[in-house]
């Protein structure tokens, strides 16, 4: 699984002119399931997201996690993170999970997140979404959870 994690002051996702998910301070996670990804990878990615210490402590050092701060988590599906740009100018997406499996893993990740964290919002899987965010720092961290 691939995630692109952005520490935000606020973020929201709009679909067809309506807001479907929004948070204040916390993380925006762009999430991509790849072919062959498993539920275990989703669990490992969520554990990393919740425990990653990139929020400032009292001394201003990045030493606090999302769980420590109680911030929001906005999860947005993003199959384009699996883009293969190794040849030509048009990316290929054959590494992305097929839509049905991608949705299942996305839904599984969101269910795990909602069970483990009090403030979880989402985009809309497969929709044409407009993502609005105020990146904090900026802090943007790529995450990849390999099989195993």
Q: Of 55, 78, 109, 125, which one is the catalytic site residue?
A: 78
Residue 67 a catalytic site member: no
Sign of the Cα torsion 129, 134, 135, 136 reads: negative
Cα(148)–Cα(133) distance, integer angstroms: 33
Instruction: Fill in the DSSP letter of residue 118.
Output: S
Please identify which residue in the block is written with the tokens 């499996």: 101
Q: Which 3 state secondary structure label does DSSP give 90?
A: coil
Residue 122 a catalytic site member: no
Cα(83)–Cα(32) distance, integer angstroms: 10
Residue 41 a catalytic site member: no
Q: Of 79, 109, 122, 125, which one is the catalytic site residue?
A: 79
Catalytic residues: 78-80
């Amino acid at each position: 699984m691939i995630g692109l994690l952005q520490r935000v002051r606020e973020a929201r996702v709009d679909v067809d002119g309506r807001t479907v998910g929004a948070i204040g301070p916390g993380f925006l996670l762009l999430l991509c399931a790849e072919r062959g990804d498993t539920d275990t990878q989703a669990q490992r990615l969520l554990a990393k997201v919740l425990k990653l210490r990139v929020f400032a402590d009292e001394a201003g050092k990045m030493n606090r996690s999302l769980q420590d701060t109680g911030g929001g988590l906005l999860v947005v599906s993003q199959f384009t993170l699996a883009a293969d740009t190794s040849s030509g100018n048009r990316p290929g997406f054959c590494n992305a999970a097929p839509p049905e499996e991608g949705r299942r893993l996305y839904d599984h990740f969101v269910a795990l997140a909602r069970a483990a964290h009090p403030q979880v919002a989402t985009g809309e899987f497969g929709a044409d979404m407009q993502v609005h965010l105020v990146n904090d720092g900026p802090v943007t961290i790529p995450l990849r959870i390999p099989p195993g």
